[in-house]
A and B are shown apart, each in its own frame.
Chain A
Amino acid sequence: MAEWIVGGVLAVLILWVILTYNGLVRLKNRVQNAWQQIDVQLKRRHDLIPNLVNAVRGAMQFERDTLERVIAARNRAVGARSPREAGPAEGELTQAIGRLFALMENYPDLKSNQNVLQLQEELTSTENRVGFARQLYNDLVAQFNTRQEVFPANLMAAPMGFKPADYFQIEAADRAVPAVDLTLR
């Protein structure tokens, strides 16, 4: 009788370990897949930006500063590889593009240019794709990390070689607090 009980408990335990392991592997692969999706969209974004800058360069000669900042941010973003590195660089690029779009509003002939409008739609779509891919990736990372941290799976996750995944973080430049000098002189 006692053997049966011990055997049953052991069987349940082994089954639990197998299920936990497989669940974590499945989630890990989905997280990796989602990261690749972000990568694809970021590459599309990096390819589109030079086209847009070239299309508007002629009409926007007086905004050279902004255009150069966009190109510089793009080149920095191309160099980044891991989620940790890419986050701040892409955040900077998002801001530079936002500024460019805002400035483009001042140039009526740009707004009626079919080529520019089409490029703008493509870039808007790419911005959305990056955003949605990041949303999916972060949701999956949250699921994956939570699955590792809850009891009793947390007893098994580390010994089985699972590590928490990095979130894709953006807008690092946004976070810097501006220094405001309020002393009266």
Chain B
Amino acid sequence: MRCVRCGLVQHDAPTCKACGAPRAVLPAQVPLRAAPGLPGPPSARDPASLPRSEAADLFQQQARNRRKTALIIGTFVLFVILLGVGFDLATGSLLPLPAAGTVLLMPVGGLAALALSSTSAWWSLRHGDRAVLLSTRAVPLEALGAADPRGRQLQNVVEEMAIAAGLPAPRIYVVPDPDPNAFATGRDPEHASVAVTAGLLDLLNREELQGVVAHEMAHIRNYDIRTMTVMAALLGAILLLHDWAGRLSRTGAVRVGGRGRGKGGGLFLFLWLLLVLVAPLIGRLLAMMVSRTREFQADATAAELTRNPVGLAGALRKLEGAFSPTRSINRGVAPLCIVDPLGLKAGLREGFWADLFATHPPMAARIARLEGMAYQPSARP
């Protein structure tokens, strides 16, 4: 059991060994998913009911992220190679290559696709964070001037949470957007960045800001940032291809069945269909793979780091109230954010289909879990 006051772990001591808080202050353990309206001791916060992220648990999360990063890169490379080979079959761009005795056909498009996709996958792993930050037009906090008290507070809060997580302090960016949102990106804890919108700084008080930053720090610590950054960069590439194919069909460059060139035309059509229909599905699938459960986990870790679930719950409540689309953040970056910046599905609807296609868990469920940890509802805005 952990002491409420100082966070020390101990077993069945009548009073806390470190700070002397009597056992009576320490309420008995409750299940994590206590109903939100459940009456509990009025002001008791029992960190013992928080899910402890033991070292083993953290390693599991990190291992899962390594697996998923590999899976995402694999899916992307495979998809692009499929496009390249389709191109070869459609245009017949197979170069004959004299080999020992026989003649091998070299698929030019397929090889080009392999080179292109592995290069962009490597690039997304290495510099994906820069692309993500650029696409949201985020500016470094230092560029805003040190005199701004809110900026100073943000820097303090980020450094505090870095200490709590035992990590180096990440770089801090501000996105000039009035809608409140936040995300973290980077390759590993040593090369990580946290970005918040200007609207978030205006809306939240210190305690709530701390909850949000702790949530982002949790993503950094368990390497969610790497998986999600690679995903955002590659998803961006797929969406770009998809938009391009869609434009082709609108301008009439591709007429369904109009060319009448027989087999080649049919294959070209197949390629185009692949881009227009399958690409967004693959994008969705990738996006769904990486979010949701990890949002719950990051919320729980944030509560563990701050020992104050109410702060983050209050922040989520305010973010939910301010649900307008965050315009600076595009589809590719959406799964990285603390709340869905597109302002649809996840927060407003629940149910099987909304669940299946949402990148974020329903807001009500997240708030209920946090309040279950704290026994008390957060202040309603």
Contact of A136 among B18, B156, B166, B206 (CB under 8 A): B166
Judge whether B20 and A174 touch: CB under 8 Å. yes
Interface size on A, residues (CB 8 A): 28
Tell yes or no: B163 within 8 A of A by CB: yes
Interface residue range, chain B: 20 to 34
Judge whether A170 and B164 touch: CB under 8 Å. no
Judge whether B159 and A167 touch: CB under 8 Å. no
Contacts of B153 in A (CB 8 A): 121, 125
**B131-157 CB contact bits vs A (8 Å, 1 = yes)?**
000000000000000000100110011
Tell yes or no: A93 within 8 A of B by CB: no
Contacts of A101 in B (CB 8 A): none
Bound CA span A81–B121, Å: 51
Question: What distance in Å separates the Cβ of A102 from its nearest Cβ neighbour in chain B?
Answer: 18
CB-nearest residue of chain A to B5: A171
**B197-221 CB contact bits vs A (8 Å, 1 = yes)?**
0000000001000100000000000
Contacts of A121 in B (CB 8 A): 149, 152-153, 156
Given that A37-B163, A125-B156, A170-B18 are contacting pairs, would A134 and B6 also be in contact in the complex, using a CB cutoff of 8 Å? yes
Tell yes or no: A69 within 8 A of B by CB: no
Contacts of A122 in B (CB 8 A): 156
**B3-45 CB contact bits vs A (8 Å, 1 = yes)?**
0011111100000011110000000000000000000000000
Judge whether B161 and A143 touch: CB under 8 Å. no
Judge whether A171 and B20 touch: CB under 8 Å. yes
Contacts of B206 in A (CB 8 A): 124
Judge whether A139 and B7 touch: CB under 8 Å. yes
Tell yes or no: A66 within 8 A of B by CB: no
Given that A135-B307, A136-B166 are contacting pairs, would A125 and B6 also be in contact in the complex, using a CB cutoff of 8 Å? no
Choose among A132, A138, A142, A168 the residue with the greatest number of B CB atoms under 10 Å from its CB.
A132
Bound CA span A174–B157, Å: 28
Contacts of B152 in A (CB 8 A): 118, 121
Given that A34-B166, A133-B163, A138-B6 are contacting pairs, would A169 and B149 also be in contact in the complex, using a CB cutoff of 8 Å? no
Contact of A41 among B9, B10, B163 (CB under 8 A): B163
Contact of B164 among A30, A136, A143, A171 (CB under 8 A): A136
Bound CA span A175–B10, Å: 18
Given that A142-B8, A142-B9, A174-B19 are contacting pairs, would A132 and B160 also be in contact in the complex, using a CB cutoff of 8 Å? yes
Judge whether A125 and B19 touch: CB under 8 Å. no
Contacts of A171 in B (CB 8 A): 5-6, 19-20
**A146-175 CB contact bits vs B (8 Å, 1 = yes)?**
000000000000000000000111110011
Judge whether B163 and A169 touch: CB under 8 Å. no
Contacts of B7 in A (CB 8 A): 134-135, 138-139
Bound CA span A185–B20, Å: 33
Bound CA span A168–B17, Å: 11
Question: What distance in Å separates the Cβ of B162 from its nearest Cβ neighbour in chain A?
Answer: 9
Contact of B20 among A117, A124, A175 (CB under 8 A): A175
Measured CB to CB, the residues of B under 8 A from A are 5-10, 17-20, 55, 149, 152-153, 156-157, 159-161, 163-166, 206, 210, 305, 307
